[in-house]
A and B are shown apart, each in its own frame.
Chain A
């Protein structure tokens, strides 16, 4: 079945450092891909998404490109801030036939800690 694999954390960076969180997926067909963020004590918030190959999702300085050839959707940010400290989840939309469904399949999550 479809699955998502994320790099294990925690990832600890200094403020203004470059961030990459790796995400690869296994899927038949063409799922939509997502990054969600979970701040302490809160629910998940959609950070960005991409719906087809070569699409780039971006939001709040974060970017990720849907790479079908490498089945990847790595999250990047050029300069992280302390306020970016959170857990980041990569996810894909499950499919029924060629259609995306409402079900999301999540990776294990990567904890990011940014130090001043």
Chain B
């Protein structure tokens, strides 16, 4: 158990809908990262929050948004869903804003989103 909790584990929804994925980081970790894992794109970085502030942005679509709350949990909002958004969405957390030397990123088990 990595200590990173993601809910829900599975989500099935229709095209055009909006969903919210939730992530609780490990206790004490200030950074939260979101990644998308799909068959054609592999593992892609979406966005990072550090202590409530957006720190880095990857190839995140404008239809997607995220935030980190004062209790450090994070939500990833996906709207106007398309079939191609079907993927496994991972959340990770780390103690600091970088993953070098003695800081490690811990991953949750992911939320599998299926858009039908």
Contact = CB atoms under 8 A, between A and B. Distances in A.
Interface of A: 32, 34, 36, 41-46, 49, 51, 89, 93-94, 99-109
Interface string B17-35: 0000000000000010101
Given A43-B2, A43-B90, A101 B109 contact: no
A103 B43 contact: no
Interface of B: 2, 4, 31, 33, 35, 42-43, 45, 48, 50, 55-56, 58, 90, 92, 94, 96-101, 104-110
Contact of A103 (B42, B56, B104, B110): B56
Given A103-B58, A105-B45, 15 more contacts: A32-B100, A34-B99, A41-B109, A43-B4, A43-B90, A94-B56, A99-B98, A101-B48, A101-B56, A101-B98, A102-B31, A102-B55, A102-B105, A103-B48, A104-B45
A32 B96 CA distance: 15
B44 to A, nearest CB: 8
Contacts of B99: 32, 34, 93, 100-102, 104
Contacts of A93: 98-100
A94 B45 CA distance: 11
